[in-house]
Amino acid sequence: MTVTTRTLPRFGGFSLGMIALELRRLMRNKRTVVFTLVLPAVFFLLFGTSSQYKSERVGGGNVTGYVLVSMAVYGAMLATTSGGAMVSIERAAGWSRQLRLTPLRPAAYVATKITLAMIIGAVSVAVAFAVGALSGARLPASAWVLCALLAWVCALVFAAFGLFMGYLLPSENVMQILGPVLAVLSFAGGLFVPVDDLGHTFATIAKFTPVYGVGELARAPLTHDGNLWLAAVNVVVWTALFAAGAVWRFRRDTARV
Amino acid sequence: MGGMTLTASPDLTTAPAAVELDGVVKRFGAVTAVDGVSLTIRPGEVVALLGPNGAGKTTTVDMLLGLQRPTDGAVRVYGRAPHEAVALGLVAAVMQTGALLKDYTVAETVRLTAVLFGRTRAEAQAALRRAGLADVANRLVGKCSGGQQQRLRFAMALLPDPELLILDEPTTGMDVAGRHEFWSAIRQDTARGRTVIFATHYLEEADAYADRVVFVRRGRVVADGTAAEVKAMASGRTVRATLPGAAESQLLAVPGVDRAEVRGDTVLLHGGDSDEIARYLLTRTAAHDLEITSRNLEDAFLALTAEDPA
């Protein structure tokens, strides 16, 4: 190798090789696996599979199916948030600085983290739906596919949230902070209890919280219910806000380059 | 397609300097960390960067690596902007606080580095073997000893086969034998043409292994040359001779002498230009048995870094 024959990697260093190695590292982390893959499925089994729920109908399926979609959204949310929040751990460890001594461009780094977040989000939704299918959840055939897709795609808002928090909080254990935050947001957004059960005032407030839109959209193929425009606006606005926050912190972080 | 190929002129007469700092200034708010440093380092040189804490060494290194941008002046590494030189693998560094991820294995860490630099799996394995890490390849980095982690940092730095290697306090924590082994390896490496810049607080290492010593103080270069030149410049040399019957007042009149001492038949003359003093003694006096000694680099360091009387 000489001074003159060196080349730069394509796509700023974004590569499948890096994603594969990062996935291996993630799967080695037992806490990540438990919180993103096991916990949502367990919550579903605990709270959604009573015989009453199995026999009670919602839209073209049963209440068990309704709870399943909510829990899949919760799992996708946890997965994408923790995927995005990986940057916090890596910044705290000084690894981000180490990566700046490689051809990996900051934008390619962020793209890698978003891709990882969406991969584990997809796995989380798949695990929840597989458990649901074996445990009495009933959904119309099209809803199995559409609900899963919507739960996954809409979880992008939380990949942005995780990135924003990852750049904002320089902490080794950022998920210990974000886990409870997500639980509160899930309550407020109607994932654990329908917002209309929370009383009029609270239900109104709930519609402006970031989890509400994702849940409404993901359950729509089952319920054919709710104000989808409001839900969609909710998702778009929160994604834009979190992404803007992430870009703002990201720029500050790389301004030192 | 192997991505974008950047080519430079192959003409050796115009081969760029390894490092070119031109009037580089770096300010952090009201603090000036680097205050007008100009420095050219040729390919193949082994340069020690010395100076007290806060002298601007780390900031200078950060600018060479593209981690900081100069407030003023220009930094070129092999003729390129530093971040570009880093991305091409022309320059690599082992930093004092070089971070590793605890939940990667040793092999995965090296493989990730290889993936990022577009190198093959075979090259990653070769780097592991060279660094003596083949036995612990599947161990988690968090379970490795400090020495193994340091070797891993070297394996990562050497993987892109950099033209310029920057080492920040590379032997801190090593024992004498380890340091010797380390520098032998670096010497072998530079024999093949690699340029090395290292910051150290072991002055004897700078003395023994650097072709060139650059002293930095308060963001400026205060001395630059071979270790011998810097020692002479900073604290002069002492010429010792046998000269019976000499008086101190006579000796102080010898050109170039700034201090003189008489111990029986022996005289000790100190000054910046020992050649001039020796020539005078040998040609104009009966002095014989001359010995010229310089003070060590540590004295030079103290002299160069002493606070100004003002």
Residue A257 contacts B, CB cutoff 8 Å: yes
A vs B: CB pairs below 8 A: 105
Q: Which residues of B touch A (CB under 8 A)?
A: 1-8, 10, 15-16, 65-69, 78, 83, 86-90, 92-93, 95, 97-104, 108, 111-113, 115-118, 160-161, 163
User: In this predicted structure, what is the pLDDT of residue B10?
Assistant: 45
Centre a 10 Å sphere on the Cβ of residue B35 and count the other Cβ atoms it contains. 16
The whole-chain average pLDDT of chain A stands at 89
A21/B92 touch (CB, cutoff 8 Å), yes or no: no
pLDDT in tens, A196-213: 787 888 888 888 999 999
Task: Work out the minimum CA distance from A35 to partner chain B, whole angstroms.
Answer: 18
What distance in Å separates the CA atoms of residue B54 and residue B242, rounded to the nearest whole number?
Answer: 45
Chain A partners within 8 Å of B59 (Cβ): none
Distance from CA of B164 to the nearest CA of A (A): 10
Could you give the angle at which helices A156-168 and A210-223 cross, rounded to 10 degrees? 160
The pTM of the full predicted model, rounded to 2 decimals, is 0.82
Which tokens hold the place of B44?
């193949």
Q: Which residues of A touch B90 (CB under 8 A)?
A: 3, 6
Model confidence at B43, in pLDDT bands (50, 70, 90)?
Answer: very high
Rounded CA gap, B70 and A26, in Å? 37
Given a cut of 90, whether residue B49 has pLDDT beyond it is yes
pLDDT band at B307 (very low <50, low <70, confident <90, very high): low
A6 in contact with chain B, both atoms CB, cutoff 8 A? yes
What does the alpha-carbon distance between residue A114 and residue A244 come to, in Å, rounded to a whole number? 15
Q: Which residues pair with B91 in a beta bridge?
A: B164
pLDDT mean over B210-237:
86
- Name every chain A residue with its beta carbon within 8 A of the beta carbon of B5: 5, 7
Q: Give the minimum alpha-carbon distance from A91 to chain B in angstroms, rounded to a whole number.
A: 10
Summarised one tens digit per residue, pLDDT across range B150-199 is 889 989 999 999 999 999 888 877 778 878 888 888 888 778 889 999 98
C-alpha of A171 from chain center: 20
- Interface check for A200 against chain B (CB to CB < 8 A): the answer is no
Q: Rounded distance, CA B237 to CA B214, Å? A: 19
Quick: pLDDT tens for B103-118.
Answer: 999 999 999 999 999 9
Q: How far is B114 from chain A (nearest CA, A)?
A: 10
Q: A127 to chain B, minimum CA–CA distance in Å?
A: 25
- Reply yes or no on whether the pLDDT at B142 is more than 50: yes
Q: Which of B91, B224, B235 is nearest to B167 (CA)?
A: B91
Q: What is the pLDDT of residues A226-251, one digit of tens each?
A: 788 999 999 999 999 999 999 888 88
Instruction: Determine which of B117, B119, B120, B149 to mutate to test the interface with A (most A C-beta atoms within 10 Å).
Output: B117
Beta carbons of A25 and B2 less than 8 Å apart: no
B246-283 pLDDT, tens digit per residue, is 888 888 888 888 888 899 899 999 887 888 899 999 99
Closest residue, chain B, to A20 (C-alpha): B112
Read out DSSP for A195-244? GGGG-HHHHHHHTTSHHHHHHHHHHHHHH--S-HHHHHHHHHHHHHHHHH
How far apart are the C-alpha atoms of B206 and A92, rounded to whole Å? 33
Question: What ipTM does the predicted assembly reach?
Answer: 0.86
Q: B258 or A42: whose pLDDT is higher?
A: A42
Taking the C-alpha atoms of residue B289 and residue B45, their distance in angstroms, rounded to an integer, is 37
For the cut 60, the answer to whether the pLDDT of residue B309 exceeds it is: no
Q: What is the Cα–Cα distance from A55 to A65, expressed in whole angstroms?
A: 11
